[in-house]
């Protein structure tokens, strides 16, 4: 199998995002993905074992890129409230900027089988670890309440962002996902804070997609 890097590999990943978003996973034949990528059908199998592998790899690449980028952005911040605000901003901005990717992440991956769900577990765990680190820092520095169940809290933070994004993707009403950044931060930060209060949302993190 060819090394999973390079122009053709990236072209196939981007094509898969578009084709699966437009047709659904089950109606996205390998030939459609190959045609969109501008490669021969057989080229797909130089990089991927099958269509399941394409979907899992798509998630690993996109989530891996996001996680790595988020860590770079967050390492420059000290306060856990700011880190939480920034992560929410990054999450919503990234998905608003690529609605096809949002459709695949929020809808198609949820309808997949156990093999695919197992395949995406590791990159998802890496993202949850970032959330857990933010909450843990807040607990240790006194910014967040100490009686928080860490694993439950990280799932609630991720679950809130996830559900808000799914509602946006599925809505018949046109609105910006990035308009939800500040309200979601206020809700989560107040829930985690010692006294039900939270730092005002840092307006510089409202880096909305165009």
Q: Domains of the chain by range and CATH?
A: 1-48 (1.10.10.60), 55-205 (1.10.357.10)
pLDDT in single tens digits along all 210 residues of the chain? 767 778 999 999 999 999 999 999 999 999 999 999 999 999 999 999 999 999 999 999 999 999 999 999 999 999 999 999 999 999 999 999 999 999 999 988 876 688 888 888 899 999 999 999 999 999 999 999 999 999 999 999 999 999 999 999 999 889 999 999 999 999 999 999 988 777 778 777 776 443
- pTM given for the model: 0.90
Cα angle vertex 60, ends 54, 63, to 5°?
Answer: 130
What contacts 24+ positions apart, CB below 8 Å, involve 38-44?
38/11, 39/8, 39/11, 39/12, 43/8, 43/12, 44/12
């Amino acid at each position: 199998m060819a090394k999973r890097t390079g122009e053709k590999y990236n072209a196939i990943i981007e094509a898969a995002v578009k084709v699966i978003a437009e047709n659904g996973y089950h109606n996205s034949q390998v030939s459609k993905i190959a045609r969109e990528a501008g490669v021969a059908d057989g080229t797909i199998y130089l990089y991927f074992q099958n269509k399941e592998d394409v979907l899992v790899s798509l998630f690993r690449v996109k989530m891996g890129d996001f996680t790595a980028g988020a860590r770079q952005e967050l390492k420059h911040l000290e306060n856990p409230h700011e880190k939480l605000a920034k992560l929410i901003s990054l999450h919503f901005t990234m998905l608003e900027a690529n609605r096809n990717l949002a459709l695949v992440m929020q809808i198609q991956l949820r309808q997949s089988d156990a093999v695919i769900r197992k395949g995406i577990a590791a990159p998802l765990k890496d993202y949850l670890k970032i959330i857990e680190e933010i909450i843990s820092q807040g607990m240790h520095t006194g910014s967040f309440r100490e009686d928080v169940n860490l694993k439950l809290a990280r799932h609630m933070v991720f679950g809130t962002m996830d559900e808000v994004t799914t509602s946006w993707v599925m809505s018949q009403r046109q609105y910006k996902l990035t308009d939800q950044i500040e309200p979601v931060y206020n809700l989560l930060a107040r829930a985690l804070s010692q006294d039900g209060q939270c730092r005002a949302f840092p307006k510089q993190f409202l880096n909305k997609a165009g």
